[in-house]
Every structure is written in C-alpha cells, then in structure tokens.
Amino acid sequence: MNAQFDVIKKKRIQMTIILLVMLLIVFGAKVLTDFSFMEGLASIPGTVFWMFTNLIPTAEAMENFPKVMERLWETIILSILATTTAGIFALFFALFGSKTTKINGLLALLSRVIASVFRNIPVVAWALVLVISFGHNVVTGYFALFFTTFGFLVRAFMETIDEASTDSVEALNATGATYFQMVFRGVIPDTLPQMLSWVFFMIDTNIRSATLVGLLTGTGIGYIFDLYYKRLDYPTVGLITLSIIVVVIVIELISNKVRRMIL
C-alpha cells in the first residue's frame, strides 16, 4: 500500500518538474523572440475580420485570373516533376541504404549520410544559393525542391523497405535468387504501393514548398503572390490564395483516392 503510494507521489513530483521546466523554456523563448501572448491573441479576430473583408476576389482581381493560372500550372508541373525525379534517385539510395538490401556497410552508411545532409539543409538555403547562378528561373525552383524531396524520400523509402520485405527477401535468398532478382522480384513489388503513397504525399507537400521557394526566387505562384502582396492588391492576393487552396485540396483528394485503391 505504502509502496504504491510512493510510486504515485514520485510520478506526480516528476510531472510537476517537467511542467515547470517546460514553462521556464516557454518563458525564455518568449523573451528571446519578443513574443507576446496577448498581442498574438488580440490580432486573431482582427486578422479573421480583415481576411473576410479584403481577401475576397473582386471583378477586377478576376482579370488577373489567366496570369495566376499560368503561374499555378508552372508550380504544379514543377512540384510533380521534382518529386518524381527525386523519387527515382531516392529509390536507388534507399536500396543501398536499407538493412535488407544493402550491398555493403560502407555504402549503406554513405547513402544514409548523404540523404540526411540533403534532408536537413533547409530548402531556403538551396533556393537562395541557386538563385544567384540560375536567376529567376524555373530551374532554380526545380533544384531546390529536388534536393529536399530527395533527402526526405530516401528516409521514407528506406523505412518502407526495412519494414515490409524481410520475409520475401529471405524466401528469395533461400531459393538462390541473385541480388537483382531479389530486388526487382521481391522488394520493389512488395513496397511499391507504399512508396507511391509517399510520392503523393511529397507532391502535396511540394506544392506548398514551391510557394515558399517561388517567393524567394521569383518563380511560380510564390512570385505572383509576392508581387500583388507588395502592391497591396489584396483581392488578387485572395484569388491566389484561394486557387492554391483548391489545387492542394484537389491533389489531396486524388492522392487519397489512389492511395486507398493501391494499398
């Protein structure tokens, strides 16, 4: 009885200490970033009200619609293209890096490290460096998206391969299959649906990242958003935001549907 009481008491003390430490960090972070909860809370109703009064596309804004569509189309192509090409490279790196399909330990470590570095260098850094030599061009956006997508997909594919295919790999190895037979007959068919699902997830993410990259590098929908935002032409900004919402939700719906069918 007493021992049990002690356990509960100890847990309570532990929880209190964790909570206090968290509060301390929150306070420190608040001071460091000059953030005020009150100001944040106070600006929410204002923003919502502002959104409903200013971000509604007017007839004038609709005149910019063809321009917006052109840029949006560019962004969609860019996101899908960056994802699919990165996916092809990521597949090979994932095969080299995964525990079940690695060729040797050194190569596995190398591909893991490369992927991790690409994944963790912020997309902003890529965009800002590439824009210096490639200029305000779609190629800048493409490479910036490609590098981060590649890093992420290697991790995702590697986990998929590790989780899914040990049994079939073992069975194929037992029958004396070669490495290539094992990979192309066992691992890839097993993991393809899951990997495609990751590719769809990444296309979705990339459309949003493409907006950010476009803002920094002057390409795609991000550029046109920045343009009208700085011109204070808010109805057009609203139109652009709405069209991004529609595209992202449509792509999400399609990918959910496909995912449900193939998984």
Region 182-241 residues binding other proteins, contact defined as CB under 8 A: 192-193, 196, 199, 208-209, 211-212, 215-216, 222, 225, 229, 241
Least distance from other proteins to the Cβ atom of residue 133, Å: 4
Total residues contacting other proteins (rule CB under 8 A)? Answer: 71
**1 near other proteins, judged by CB under 8 A:** no
**261 near other proteins, judged by CB under 8 A:** yes
Q: Which residue is it, tokens 């343009």?
A: 227
Least distance from other proteins to the Cβ atom of residue 63, Å: 22
Pick between residue 33 and residue 104 the one whose CB is nearest to other proteins.
33
Q: Under rule CB under 8 A, which residues in 147-186 are in contact with other proteins?
A: 163
Pick between residue 13 and residue 117 the one whose CB is nearest to other proteins.
117
**245 near other proteins, judged by CB under 8 A:** yes
Residues 147/139, Cβ–Cβ less than 8 Å: no
**14 near other proteins, judged by CB under 8 A:** no
- Among 67, 89, 114, 138, which residue sits at the site for other proteins (rule: CB under 8 A)? 138
- DSSP symbols for 52-81: HHHSS--HHHHTTHHHHHHHHHHHHHHHHH
**110 near other proteins, judged by CB under 8 A:** no
Q: How far apart (Å, rounded) are the C-alpha atoms in residues 201 and 194?
A: 11
Q: Give the tokens for residue 244.
A: 């991004």
Burial (0-12, 13-18, 19+ Cβ within 10 Å), 14: exposed
Q: Per CB under 8 A, which region of 56-64, 76-84, 94-102, 167-175 contacts other proteins?
A: 76-84
Q: Give the tokens for residue 251.
A: 């792509």
Pick between residue 16 and residue 28 the one whose CB is nearest to other proteins.
28
- Among 14, 84, 178, 181, which residue sits at the site for other proteins (rule: CB under 8 A)? 84
Least distance from other proteins to the Cβ atom of residue 231, Å: 13
If DSSP codes are grouped into helix, strand and coil, which group holds residue 231?
coil
Backbone angles phi, psi at 27, to 5 degrees: -65, -45
Half-sphere CA count of 211, side-chain side, radius 13 A? 17
Contacts for 102 with CB less than 8 Å, ≥ 6 apart? 95, 96, 108
**107 near other proteins, judged by CB under 8 A:** no
